[in-house]
Chain A
């Protein structure tokens, strides 16, 4: 018997009991949709972790303020904290404080809003930012309060139109700054602690001394700080020490988080773990229900068609061909359900991810794995009824009258 004939027979068998087949397919559609959603959401989370790990690096620690701070509260993280950590903890090799403020640039025809990032030269090194032209500002320029700046590639295009940004003068927040460096475009965005999208390509970098009020240099809050550790120190061992040191400075209050690569992974596992487990449960439950439904329906089909099976055996069908016929009927139903499930899963998880701001990423391999799981479950669920059909005594089946 040809493969095409087996499939044609299977499709015919499915159409023979449309309602049964439809109800069975629903279980497989639900299972596949849940599997697709699971893969898409975990795939997106994994991609986000990888991106943030790439941003963080294995020897870096990021410190960020957390929670809603009242106006009367002291800042959760200050320039003074970072300076103190650098001085007191010997394993801190370099530190880069970051202060972000909303500012504006005055162009001849318009005022453009920008995100001004006050930092030190170490920032560019620790974040692995590369320069298309020029250099970062120096420690001496920071200390002296020179009016120099570095522009992200997109910021350079926006703020210096029709000319060379490097060396140009840009008026930021009412003061003129000379552009000493322009970044390449090979950088990607990362949300900062406030949820605002940080994107080195679009930002304007100033010496950190220019972003503080003159009398509050050490007390005003930072958006984040990056610490580079000595090569012999593991970030996970260093993080608790840093936390304790900061807590001591803040009278035991902990309004900050200390992120390392491992902590990021753990954080993502914790936040997405419940959803993933729920989806996995839905996926398994739906496939299990589909499998039970399919076994029941296949069993009923075999019983209803014992005479047909006997006729086929009488004209020369081998047991394997009868088994294949019923097995493929199950697989055809599951394939139809899985196809619907892919559509529902992609649309549903896409909408859920969009509405909740989750990253979404579905690899074709994951989609194929979901479909393969549906087909595998269907084959397993149909195997026993199909084997029973194949083993039926044709003489007994031919005696059977409708």
Chain B
């Protein structure tokens, strides 16, 4: 079976002054459709860079990246934006909601860029918000919500366009234990619908909920052995 996401020998080197920084160093990763994968690692190990490359927000310096069998590493910006809009949902640690848009307008955003007619996208956004338990908060501004609620709204925005893969960067980093549990349950529900989930996290509980786990250190990725599970 063809992997949904496939990285082969991917590197990402930043120039910081005259010194090159190897954020990703020869990373190889294959994620099948419908998998739940977590990536852990210390700060600065390259987790977020990996997620940005997977999300087509960043371009690898070397290596090959295939999304559903198609080489996407060096696509034009327009095509990358189109793929991001149609196949990828993104969740960030700091929620990244547009502060002057209401919750429902934030959730509609991916559909706006897909050219969906306003009534249809409002219906989809309401359904997505209902799935994360925010049906009563449609017309609130993000600042009027708690952290947990904002992250639920962000997840609703990530899944409203029914992407193939949900990429989450420290989704519980700013949340308390109860809110973390709610987010985990939502991820489980999303995963159960067949969506591939990739979570980058510091949180062992979140990492443990994944079926397959990886660890990043100094830009290199290695699988976490089954014996280490539950650590």
Question: Do A and B associate with each other?
Answer: yes
Alpha-carbon distance between A312 and B101 when the two chains are bound, in angstroms: 12
Residues A319 and B112 in contact in the complex (CB < 8 Å), given A311-B98, A398-B92: no
Instruction: Report if A248 contacts B (CB, 8 A).
Output: no
Instruction: Report if A365 contacts B (CB, 8 A).
Output: no
A319 with B78: CB separation less than 8 A: yes
Residues in A whose Cβ lies below 8 Å from that of B112: 1-2, 5
A317 with B98: CB separation less than 8 A: no
Instruction: Report if B157 contacts A (CB, 8 A).
Output: yes
Alpha-carbon distance between A315 and B89 when the two chains are bound, in angstroms: 7
In the assembled complex, the CB of B158 is this many whole angstroms from the nearest CB of chain A, namely 8
In the assembled complex, the CB of B63 is this many whole angstroms from the nearest CB of chain A, namely 18
Chain B's closest residue to A307 (CB) is B96
Segment 53-67 of B: residues with Cβ below 8 Å from A: 55, 57-58
Residues in A whose Cβ lies below 8 Å from that of B118: 4-5
B100 with A312: CB separation less than 8 A: no
B113 with A314: CB separation less than 8 A: no
CB < 8 Å neighbour of B110 from A315, A319, A320, A398? A315
CB < 8 Å neighbour of A1 from B57, B90, B115? B115
In the assembled complex, the CB of B16 is this many whole angstroms from the nearest CB of chain A, namely 14
Q: Mark A310-331, 1 if CB is under 8 A from B, else 0.
A: 1111111111110000000000
In the assembled complex, the CB of B171 is this many whole angstroms from the nearest CB of chain A, namely 14
Alpha-carbon distance between A395 and B97 when the two chains are bound, in angstroms: 15
Chain A interface, >50% SS class:
helix
Question: What is the size, in residues, of chain B's interface with A at 8 Å between Cβ atoms?
Answer: 30
Segment 73-119 of B: residues with Cβ below 8 Å from A: 77-78, 81-82, 84-86, 90, 92, 94, 96-101, 109-110, 112-115, 117-118
B113 with A316: CB separation less than 8 A: yes
A317 with B58: CB separation less than 8 A: no
Instruction: Report if A251 contacts B (CB, 8 A).
Output: no
Chain B's closest residue to A15 (CB) is B100
Q: Mark A346-380, 1 if CB is under 8 A from B, else 0.
A: 00000000000000000000000000000000000
A314 with B57: CB separation less than 8 A: yes
Chain B's closest residue to A311 (CB) is B96
A317 with B113: CB separation less than 8 A: yes
Residues in A whose Cβ lies below 8 Å from that of B100: 12, 16
Alpha-carbon distance between A5 and B110 when the two chains are bound, in angstroms: 12
Instruction: Report if A267 contacts B (CB, 8 A).
Output: no
Residues in A whose Cβ lies below 8 Å from that of B85: 315-317
Residues in A whose Cβ lies below 8 Å from that of B58: 395
Residues A317 and B81 in contact in the complex (CB < 8 Å), given A12-B100, A311-B96, A398-B92: yes
Q: Mark B122-158, 1 if CB is under 8 A from A, else 0.
A: 0000000000000000000000000000000000010
The 4 lowest CB-CB distance pairs between A and B, nearest first, are A316-B85, A316-B113, A318-B81, A315-B110
Interface residues of chain B, those whose CB is within 8 Å of chain A, are 52, 55, 57-58, 77-78, 81-82, 84-86, 90, 92, 94, 96-101, 109-110, 112-115, 117-118, 157, 161
